[in-house]
């Protein structure tokens, strides 16, 4: 239990520090929208995983209120999403964009594999790593489409 709390505290501190330190002032509005949208999408994604019995969260911050993990899907994954959009290669090429998607999808998957292996924060029952990479790619694509659509209205 202490290990999980330390992992969550470390994840919170790193996520908040990265967001405060490395998001440029001109990107703050987009970062806010991205963060909120990723929180929404990952909440739905997490809920569907729970309903289908693909994942469980043995250690939860609010174990009486919900069966879902608060920190992973409301802070860590949205932080990944914010940096995915902030660092998105706008005028690069299809290969560079594919690499960008793949690096972030693999990064999310590696984080979840490490969390699963060394703690009881998450347990994947019927959800192997290729499925995680694919689902992360789909989520990142949805996030990219929404944020770019939304940004058109901000100009």
Give the range of the structural domain holding residue 25, as residue numbers without chain letter: 2-154
Tokens coding 82 = 């914010």
| pLDDT single digits (tens) 21-55 | 999 999 999 999 999 999 999 999 999 999 999 99
How many Cα atoms occupy the beta-carbon half-sphere of 148 within 13 Å?
A: 11
| pLDDT single digits (tens) 85-96 | 999 998 889 999
Do 68 and 60 form a contact (C-beta atoms < 8 A)?
yes
- Is this model's pTM higher than 0.95 or not? no
Domain count, the chain: 1
């Amino acid at each position: 239990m202490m290990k999980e709390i330390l992992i969550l505290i470390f994840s919170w501190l790193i996520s908040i520090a990265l967001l405060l330190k490395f998001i440029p002032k001109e990107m703050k509005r987009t970062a806010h929208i991205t963060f909120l949208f990723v929180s929404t999408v990952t909440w739905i994604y997490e809920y569907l995983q729970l309903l289908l019995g693909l994942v469980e969260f043995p250690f939860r911050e609010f174990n009486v209120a919900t069966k879902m993990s608060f920190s992973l899907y409301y802070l860590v994954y949205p932080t990944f999403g914010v940096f995915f959009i902030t660092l998105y290669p706008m005028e690069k090429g299809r290969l560079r964009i594919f690499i960008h998607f793949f690096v972030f999808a693999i990064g999310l998957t590696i984080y979840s594999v490490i969390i699963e292996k060394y703690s009881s924060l998450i347990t994947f029952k019927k959800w192997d790593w290729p499925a995680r990479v694919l689902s992360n790619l789909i989520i990142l694509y949805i996030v990219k489409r929404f944020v770019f659509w939304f940004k058109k209205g901000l100009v």
